Structure 1
Amino acid sequence: MTLLKMTRSICPKCNKVIDASVVEEDGKVWLQKKCDVHGSFKELYWGDANMYKWVEGFASEGAGVSNPAISIDPSKVACPYNCGLCTAHKSHTALANVFVTNRCNKRCWYCFAGLDNIKKNGYVYEPPFEQIVEMLRVLRDERPVPTNAIQFTGGEPTIRDDMLDIIKEAVKMGFQSIMLNTNGITLALDPDLVARYRKAGVNFLYLSFDGVTATTNPKNHEYIPKIIENCRKAGMPVTLVPTLINGVNDHEIWPIVRFGLDNIDVVRSVNFQPVSFVGTMTRSISEEEKRKAQRITIPDMAHKLEAQSKGLIRASGFYPVPTVAPVADIISKVRGGMPITKFTCNSHCGMATFVFKDGDKIIPLEEFVDIGRAYKLLKELSFEDLGTNVGKLKAATKLYSKVSKIVNKEKAPKDVDVASMIVDVLLKKGGTDKFVLRSMMIGSMHFMDPYNYDIDRVQRCVIHYVTPDGRIIPFCAFNVLPEFYRDKINKKFGIPIAEWEKQTGKKLEDDLKRI
């Protein structure tokens, strides 16, 4: 056993902050910790120790937040219990979740928000339009980098009657990336609804998609063909979002990707989310054997994809999220120092790769681009003077020349000029369009739970929730510690179910009947 680092975690029984060690053993990485009251715990952290150590080389420092809602001395911060964001947080918001309702038209057994039994929770959380606008304003007021990307989530956001109005208001406020997190059922039942959301300002559907069969995806399998058809007609890009559970749907990783590639004109990305044992899944936490059987990590997903695709998409093609951090530095310089969203999460939070299609042929990006050399080139360029027109011209010329040398044009898709695409991404507004339209991203983001909790990851989190009281809370605090955040906020700003039903004349069961 080899010690890789010391960190801080929480006791999964009492939530007390305790010391933890991250160790390598048998080719895997484990988190070990001991609570004085509840004893020792050992949990799988990453399924591949070599990959764990490799991704650390891509770590990038963030700008943090200069106007934190919780302004206290960093030395006195009791992370993760002072979230808001606080002075100890090291990254700004890259994507904000706007939790618009805890009502849902499904009751999923693995829901991380714990909404399978809303009656047990006792409250309907559904902030009024005006309150949501104030929440959006908090995000736009974040400094030094105003939040630019939001995701409306729930529950099922599309069952709100005023969802289109909320989206239109977000557009007016300057948000450039607006995602809608949905199971898509309402969008299948109403053929015009996708088009209305697209027209209102939604850039992406973040579509729950747990498998290609009714067994692995009982939630919305029967609706998927109609959802994709309606999105195709409306020109609505889609991200497929499978919750990955070992022994449940991990055998369909490649078929899920294959489905995305077969619909690449609509599906722009597939983002696997390895299950975290929070919310409804807390029932598995108390059953150690079941939890360990269902646990799957990012490297496990990547290796399974390589095996299932018979080596077509290799695990070595996945790079950690902070790999793109130099891109933000370059774009900021090109735009005269303008604050740009920079993905500076912990290197172990997520990974991604890209694939292209050339006719029926599938070509991974790493097949024709030396990504490692490309990263080094971007790092070098991020330190150069790019603030003048002369600087930009020199950078474009230099970049095109150098990138061309690390691209194998013989293996590249016939009509894809990657060097030109990369120059456009860095030097032109809207420059990502060419790249996005020709490729499909395959990614994975692993949110934590009380067993694999690493406070270093929380402090670098870039995916946050905004709340009605003006706080911004990291995803892995909001959902992992519901008694401090999610459930507490639901109760504080929610309405007792009986009162809500009396006010609205509706019944919670009516949501299920919409299906």
Structure 2
Amino acid sequence: KAERPVPGNSLQITGGEPTLRPELPEIVKIIKEEGVDHIQLNTNGINLALNPNLAMELRDAGLSNLYMSFDGVSPKTNPKNHWEAPYTVESCRKANLGIVLVPTVIKSINDHELGGILRFAQRNIDIVRAISYQPVSLTGRMKKQEREKYRITIPDCIERIEEQTNGEIPRDAWFPVPSCSPVTHFVEAFTKRPQYELSIHFACGAGTYVFEDKNTKKLVPITSFVDLKGLFEYLDEKTDELNSGTNKYLVAAKFISKLNSFIEKDKQPAGLNLSKLLVGALLKHDYSSVGQFHIRSMFLGMMHFQDKYNQDEERLQRCDIHYLTPDMRIIPFCSFNVIPEWYRDRIQKKYGISVDEWEKKNGEKLEARLYRGTLRRGKHADGCGCSSVHIEPITGT
């Protein structure tokens, strides 16, 4: 909250596996009471599959969405939670708790299922808000041939998604994350309040928004029916007007009257009124209005974290994902993880406790909380809340 010019109001709880903490709903509630608007939970989702009530408890406490590991649509590519993920999705659906699917993409391991992951998300588009594809960050030493076998880049992933969706999500649908800066500048000038600006290095990420056509059931990228370049240039013009003192209501009226000229209505997905969503998100710009845009769309993101083979100081300086450490330091994500002996390992050693200490403190064996993979054997744990739920298996079609 001490960050300036914009106090931080978006936070992700991560681990380890945060749902192992029985007091997690209370932790979420405390964070919410501190004024954090958006709280995200990084999880494998297994405990939310076994205990559907947990999703509702977390939602009631103030959790915004899950950031759920999901590496593929087959047991081979996603052994971590292939069998459990459908139950997690159903738990979140009942709690109206959105999900971001997070595949770590490794060449030769799961890059052939990127389209399948997208189709799984589409079948659950009512509750899956986004996919954050993450090309693997290779840490530690490895031979050149191993790097070539496993390393995959953002352009590689975009090409595979185009191929695996038969061109439904073409490569030109994607745009670098910082290209959205005109939106931030306009909102900042209109509201007279500092805003987050996604000014990261262009090589750090790419994204696009897709909408499902209610008639054809196809996914339509925003770039297929919106002149984004023209819209962004127009927003820059209106930003200059606002900064020069033009009445903001006059600018708003101009924006509303001009907006439809950037949208090809005959190509707009059936059932979508994009101009209405954009007016709400850009002019009202409250949490609810921005949320409505994300509920109606699905964001496809691509984030390539650095590793020891491509560490770039300029990218670190422009990072917008930070770790907040117990000693109140803010550390760029790739600094924290890429050279773990400088940050991550030291912090974990300083503030962590051993298994023996934990067991003594809590009066139980840590192994007692170990998940035994009951769902992947077609069974249910005693007393689990998902035993009466019928779940369709995960497929990539």
- TM-score between the two structures when normalised by the length of structure 2: 0.89
Cα shift at 1:141: 1.6
SS of residue paired to 1:431 = helix
Q: Which residue of 2 aligns with 1:363?
A: 220
1:154 equivalenced with 2:15 (yes/no): yes
Change (3 A) 1:433 1:469: closer
Q: Which residue of 2 aligns with 1:15?
A: none
Q: Which residue of 1 aligns with 2:196?
A: 341
CA contact (8 A) 1:386 1:392 kept: no
For residues 176 and 446 of structure 1, the distance between their equivalents in structure 2, rounded to whole angstroms, comes to 26
Cα shift at 1:225: 1.3
Q: Which residue of 1 aligns with 2:43?
A: 182
For residues 492 and 155 of structure 1, the distance between their equivalents in structure 2, rounded to whole angstroms, comes to 16
Change (3 A) 1:506 1:291: farther
Q: Which residue of 2 aligns with 1:379?
A: 236
1:204 equivalenced with 2:204 (yes/no): no
**Aligned residue type for 1:372:** K
Cα shift at 1:432: 1.6
**Aligned residue type for 1:288:** K
Q: 1:208-223 counterparts in 2 under 5 A?
A: 208-223=69-84
Q: Which residue of 2 aligns with 1:58?
A: none
Cα shift at 1:387: 9.8
For residues 246 and 397 of structure 1, the distance between their equivalents in structure 2, rounded to whole angstroms, comes to 49
CA contact (8 A) 2:178 2:202 kept: yes
1:194 equivalenced with 2:55 (yes/no): yes
Q: 1:20-169 counterparts in 2 under 5 A?
A: 140-169=1-30
Cα shift at 1:176: 0.5
Q: Which residue of 1 aligns with 2:247?
A: 391
Q: Residue deviations 1:160-214, cap 9 Å, x none?
A: 1221111101111111111000000000000211011111111111011101111
Q: Which residue of 2 aligns with 1:89?
A: none
Q: Which runs of 5+ in 2 are unaligned?
A: 374-397
Q: 1:108-507 counterparts in 2 under 5 A?
A: 140-278=1-139, 282=140, 285-336=141-192, 338-359=193-214, 360-385=217-242, 391-428=247-284, 429=286, 430-507=288-365
When structure 1 is superposed on structure 2, of 495-504 and 266-275 the one drifting more is 495-504
CA contact (8 A) 2:106 2:135 kept: yes
Displacement over 3 Å in runs of 4+: none
For residues 506 and 246 of structure 1, the distance between their equivalents in structure 2, rounded to whole angstroms, comes to 41
Q: Which residue of 1 aligns with 2:370?
A: 512
CA contact (8 A) 1:327 1:382 kept: no
**Aligned residue type for 1:393:** Y
Between the two proteins, the alignment pairs up a number of residues equal to 369
Cα shift at 1:261: 1.0
Cα shift at 1:370: 1.4
For residues 222 and 22 of structure 2, the distance between their equivalents in structure 1, rounded to whole angstroms, comes to 42
Structure number with the higher strand fraction is 1
For residues 125 and 164 of structure 2, the distance between their equivalents in structure 1, rounded to whole angstroms, comes to 20
SS of residue paired to 2:52 = coil
Cα shift at 1:386: 6.7
CA contact (8 A) 2:280 2:289 kept: yes
Change (3 A) 1:436 1:386: farther
For residues 218 and 328 of structure 2, the distance between their equivalents in structure 1, rounded to whole angstroms, comes to 49
SS of residue paired to 1:441 = strand
CA contact (8 A) 1:330 1:386 kept: no
For residues 421 and 218 of structure 1, the distance between their equivalents in structure 2, rounded to whole angstroms, comes to 38
Cα shift at 1:392: 2.8
**Aligned residue type for 1:469:** D
CA contact (8 A) 2:13 2:42 kept: yes
SS of residue paired to 2:247 = helix
Instruction: For CA contacts below 8 A with separation 6 or more, give which structure has more relative contact order.
Output: 1
For residues 387 and 213 of structure 1, the distance between their equivalents in structure 2, rounded to whole angstroms, comes to 56
For residues 419 and 485 of structure 1, the distance between their equivalents in structure 2, rounded to whole angstroms, comes to 45
CA contact (8 A) 2:75 2:82 kept: yes
Cα shift at 1:310: 1.2
**Aligned residue type for 2:27:** I
CA contact (8 A) 1:400 1:420 kept: no
Q: Residue deviations 1:291-336, cap 9 Å, x none?
A: 2210011111111111111111111111111122222222222222
For residues 511 and 350 of structure 1, the distance between their equivalents in structure 2, rounded to whole angstroms, comes to 37
- TM-score between the two structures when normalised by the length of structure 1: 0.69
Change (3 A) 1:397 1:225: same
CA contact (8 A) 2:183 2:232 kept: no
Q: Residue deviations 1:279-299, cap 9 Å, x none?
A: xxx3xx323211221001111
For residues 178 and 239 of structure 2, the distance between their equivalents in structure 1, rounded to whole angstroms, comes to 14
For residues 384 and 170 of structure 1, the distance between their equivalents in structure 2, rounded to whole angstroms, comes to 38
Cα shift at 1:488: 0.2
Q: Which residue of 2 aligns with 1:11?
A: none
Change (3 A) 1:478 1:260: same
CA contact (8 A) 1:212 1:252 kept: yes
CA contact (8 A) 1:333 1:387 kept: no
Cα shift at 1:514: 6.3
Cα shift at 1:272: 0.2
